[in-house]
Amino acid sequence: MAESTLLSRSNFLKFSSVAAAGTLLAACSSNKDSSSGSTTSSATASLPPVTNGAEALQRLKDGNSRFVTNKATCPEDTPLRRAELAEGQTPFALLLSCIDSRVPPELVFDQGLGDLMVIRSGGQVLDRAVIGSLEYGVAVIKCPLLMVLGHGKCGAVDSTIKSIQDNSTNEGLGDIAFLIEQIGTNIRPLVEKGGDDLLYRCIDANSKGIAADLPNRSSIIKKAVADGKLTIVAADYHLESGKVALLT
């Protein structure tokens, strides 16, 4: 996984000058309506509706680029936007991501209220509730893109690696053992083979395995893919740089 020399969002906040921060705040406030005092989103207000998976993926790429380069726009979280969304939602992408607190998809892709439908589970593990939630996003909301988003230094994958290496029964771990079992189906061959950068390779293999397995686990998702209405991709989020790299 390629390293990036760009500062992460957290490092930007830590090291940037007060003047730079002031510039960012000024940019956020520049969208205020002089008559109402409300703000609008420069990220989403003027964008056309997404009609297919390629457009949705490009919008995610553009948002992540803004995030990585510390040019994130202010999300639209005004009373007007909340009132609009109370009438209905049209998110343009489904995100299946890990529960890790360091990987909030809306921030990573610089999106606001109503833009993304996010389902999160440890290690992106699939179960009936997760699959049903994804099916809702595909069949009812009609999202044209489903991204399985893994991330660096994933604790769930790391625990699975250790469990396989130790030949552990995972007794006493409750349903954490279920997460380990499910992740293990995607990474066991890699763990048994060993080698350098094992954790990173397993993280990517887990995300790709989940993305590949989704049509096999859901007839709704399988049909949407076959009909050209849904694109599924796997991706990896780099904690240090903030960059998302496609794996498929």
* Span 123-135, average pLDDT: 98
- 3-state SS assignment for residue 37: coil
Output 69 or 31, whichever has higher pLDDT. Answer: 69
pLDDT at 163 over 70: yes
Q: Give the pLDDT of residue 46.
A: 64
* Span 85-104, average pLDDT: 96
> Could you give the dihedral angle defined by the CA atoms of residues 28, 31, 32 and 38, in that order, rounded to the nearest 10 degrees?
-90
> What digits encode the pLDDT tens for the residues 50-69?
999 999 999 999 999 999 99
CB atoms within 10 A of CB 220: 18
Rounded Cα distance, 117 and 114, in Å? 8
Q: Give the pLDDT of residue 5.
A: 33
Q: Give the pLDDT of residue 24.
A: 37
pTM greater than the 0.85 cutoff = no
> What digits encode the pLDDT tens for the residues 3-20?
333 334 444 334 333 333
> Could you give the dihedral angle defined by the CA atoms of residues 142, 213, 237 and 57, in that order, rounded to the nearest 10 degrees?
-30
Per-residue pLDDT band for 35 (boundaries 50, 70, 90) equals: very low
Output 45 or 176, whichever has higher pLDDT. Answer: 176
> What digits encode the pLDDT tens for the residues 176-218?
999 999 999 999 999 999 999 999 999 999 999 999 999 999 9
- Domains located in the chain, CATH noted: 9-246 (3.40.1050.10)
Give the chain's mean pLDDT: 85
Put residue 88 in one of left, alpha, beta given phi > 0 → left and psi -120 to 50 → alpha.
Answer: left
